[in-house]
Structure 1
Amino acid sequence: MKTIAKAVESEINVKKSQFICHLFPTKTKKESKEIILKVNEQYNDATHNCTAYIVSDGEGFDDDGEPGGTAGKPMINVLRKNELHNVTAVVTRYFGGIKLGAGGLVRAYSKSVLEAINEAEILEVELYDIYKLIFEYSDIKLADGEVRNNNLEVIAKDYSDKVIYEVVSKDFRDIEKIFEKYNGEISVEFKNKEVLVK
């Protein structure tokens, strides 16, 4: 699975129309929608702000007034073909007075996203399971021992009412063993998260 390291912008001109593509690393639909809103505000004088996103909780696209299927869909297809995830693409178009036709629009929006991808730093990512181990302060030594014995990587620690370790695991059975062994003493919560692999 791939994503982009940071936001990138590129620009192409097709028959006097200006196409500005912005790619953003995003993880959720909520994040994508917030970014799309910001770009719409920034380029509120544009003829169209067409969008496509593929994130952890879904995907979507919008033609923003262009003929159906000529902008958002070609954009998301380019993201899919390049196996990109956790990314939002916004292509801003300033109409130059010459109509491009349906085929011309599809090519222009596709090319715009492709140009931006070529500018971007692509990262390979792997999806790991992230678990929260929750326990009392008196069980810290116990938990540390289990983390070591099961080769778990602790990515965050929180010391509040109870101690919470966020741990990365490739194999659910390691976590299951801890849960079964210390049921009641160490509780386990599951959540998914992407971890970059360098």
Structure 2
Amino acid sequence: MPTYTLRDRVSVELDIRKSRFIGLVIPVDDRQAAMVELDALRAQHPTATHVCWALLAGGESGMSDDGEPSGTAGRPILEVLRHHDVDGVLGAVVRYYGGIKLGAGGLVRAYTDAVASAMQVAERIERIPLTGLFVEIDYADETRMRHWIEQQAYTLIDATYGMNVRLHIRLPVASAQDAHDTMRDMTSGRALVERD
């Protein structure tokens, strides 16, 4: 059964009883990438009252009420993400307090609505697990190898040059063994291939 993530980040804004709620859903690879996104959000909104979030990313899921009453922000955001069957997605809500208390029920509804509104706009795509390969080749093989990587729609992350050329490639996990074999065949067995 396929899992889904999002094609792009989506942001929506709701005004609820004078409080401003900015709901975001952001595709991320893992918890570390999610923390980078949250740090960027806090930097973009230094005067926000709260930046609440929930993350679904395999075994690295988590959530935070960021000072709101326990269970009124992180948990509702997480439930919206679960309802949409996504993985590798950070849901976040930036709140600017407007002076009117919403109560626990009002907060749950506000945080749920902010993320649900963003998810309604977001485009879900199948999440394909990726891996990395390092391949060390002769300079003479580089042009042909780069052309093949491009044809396969793999991502060339980095190239380093020393005695040989060392390419770092990102590709679907399901393609890794075939790619390994093909690279060895293309170079008559000279390519040294390892997982990252």
Letter in 2 for 1:190: R
Letter in 2 for 1:174: D
Q: Does the 8 A contact of 1:133 with 1:186 survive in 2?
A: yes
Which has a greater percent of strand?
Answer: 1
Matched, 1:160 2:164: no
Paired with 1:40 and 1:167, the residues of 2 have a C-alpha distance of 30
Q: Does the 8 A contact of 1:133 with 1:189 survive in 2?
A: yes
What is the TM-score with the length of structure 2 in the denominator?
0.72
1:97-142 CA-to-partner distances (Å, cap 9, x unmatched) read 443333332222111101011122333332244423223336x39x
Matched, 1:174 2:174: no
With over 3 angstroms needed to count, the CA separation of the structure-2 counterparts of 1:152 and 1:132, relative to structure 1, is: farther
Matched, 1:190 2:191: no
What is the TM-score with the length of structure 1 in the denominator?
0.71
Paired with 1:72 and 1:153, the residues of 2 have a C-alpha distance of 37
Helix, strand or coil at the partner of 1:13:
strand
Q: Does the 8 A contact of 2:6 with 2:124 survive in 1?
A: yes
- Which of 22, 29, 33 aligns to 2:31? It is 29
Residue 70 of structure 1 aligns with which residue? 72
Q: Does the 8 A contact of 1:51 with 1:61 survive in 2?
A: yes
- TM alignment of 1:47-196, pairs within 5 A: 47-55=49-57, 58-137=60-139, 140=141, 155-156=155-156, 158=159, 160-161=161-162, 162-165=164-167, 166=169, 168=171, 170=174, 173-174=177-178, 185-191=190-196
Measured after TM superposition, the shift of residue 34 of structure 1 is 2.5
With over 3 angstroms needed to count, the CA separation of the structure-2 counterparts of 1:11 and 1:126, relative to structure 1, is: same
Helix, strand or coil at the partner of 2:29:
coil
Residue 194 of structure 1 aligns with which residue? none
Paired with 1:44 and 1:107, the residues of 2 have a C-alpha distance of 24
Helix, strand or coil at the partner of 2:110:
helix
Letter in 2 for 1:158: A
Measured after TM superposition, the shift of residue 69 of structure 1 is 1.6
Runs of 4+ aligned structure 1 residues displaced above 4 Å come to: 151-154, 175-182
Q: Does the 8 A contact of 1:2 with 1:84 survive in 2?
A: yes
Paired with 1:89 and 1:178, the residues of 2 have a C-alpha distance of 39
Question: What is the root-mean-square deviation in Å for CA atoms of aligned residues?
Answer: 3.5
Q: Does the 8 A contact of 2:53 with 2:90 survive in 1?
A: yes
Q: Does the 8 A contact of 1:153 with 1:167 survive in 2?
A: no
Measured after TM superposition, the shift of residue 48 of structure 1 is 1.6
